[in-house]
């Protein structure tokens, strides 16, 4: 089961690279914020349709959840605006490796301290080495 999820997140990462490639030119044509809005508008419409057909009818109220859990609604558009601005300037590969470096660094911190309700997973040497390889990749792609 874990292997299936690994393949799914790899596919999701590939989708983000395609999204970055689409957002850069779209942002240059219609404006960065309109490009961001289009991504979230289409995504919201699709999610709404999926909720209509597949969401459990007796789930807890969305509004009863702690407010801090809604921060993703702020972080998501910020991320997409960054993709839209950075991709045409530094390219898809550099943008994605930079995003990956930030994600892995922050993920290690969140795991290590068990933040945001996640299980505690200590930072060990292997995880630090993995982060260093990503930083090396960032440096190599920057020089290329």
Per-position pLDDT tens, the chain of length 144: 899 999 999 999 999 999 999 998 999 999 999 999 999 999 999 999 999 899 887 877 777 888 888 888 888 899 999 999 999 999 999 999 999 999 999 999 999 999 988 999 999 999 999 999 999 999 999 876
Enumerate the domain spans of the chain. Answer: 13-58+72-143
Residue in 81, 87, 67, 86 with CA at minimum distance from that of residue 32: 81
Q: pTM to 2 decimals?
A: 0.81
Classify 1 as helix, strand or coil: coil
Count of alpha carbons within 13 Å of 82, Cβ hemisphere only?
13
Which two tokens mark 113? Answer: 């301290």
Contact 104, 137 (CB under 8 A): no
* Sign of torsion over alpha carbons 39, 43, 46, 49: negative
Residue with tokens 């792609």: 141
């Amino acid at each position: 089961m874990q292997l299936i999820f690994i393949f799914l997140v790899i596919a999701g990462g590939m989708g983000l690279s395609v999204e970055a490639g689409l957002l850069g030119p779209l942002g240059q044509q219609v404006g960065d914020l309109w490009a961001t809005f289009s991504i979230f508008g289409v995504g919201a419409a699709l999610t709404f349709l999926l909720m209509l057909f597949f969401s459990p009818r007796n789930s807890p109220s969305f509004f009863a959840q702690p407010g801090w859990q809604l921060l993703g609604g702020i972080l998501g558009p910020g991320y997409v605006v960054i993709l839209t601005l950075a991709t045409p300037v530094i390219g898809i590969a550099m943008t994605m490796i930079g995003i990956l470096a930030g994600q892995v660094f922050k993920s290690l911190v969140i795991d290590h301290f068990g933040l945001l309700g996640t299980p505690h997973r200590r930072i060990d040497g292997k995880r630090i080495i993995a982060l260093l390889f990503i930083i090396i990749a960032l440096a190599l792609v920057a020089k290329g």
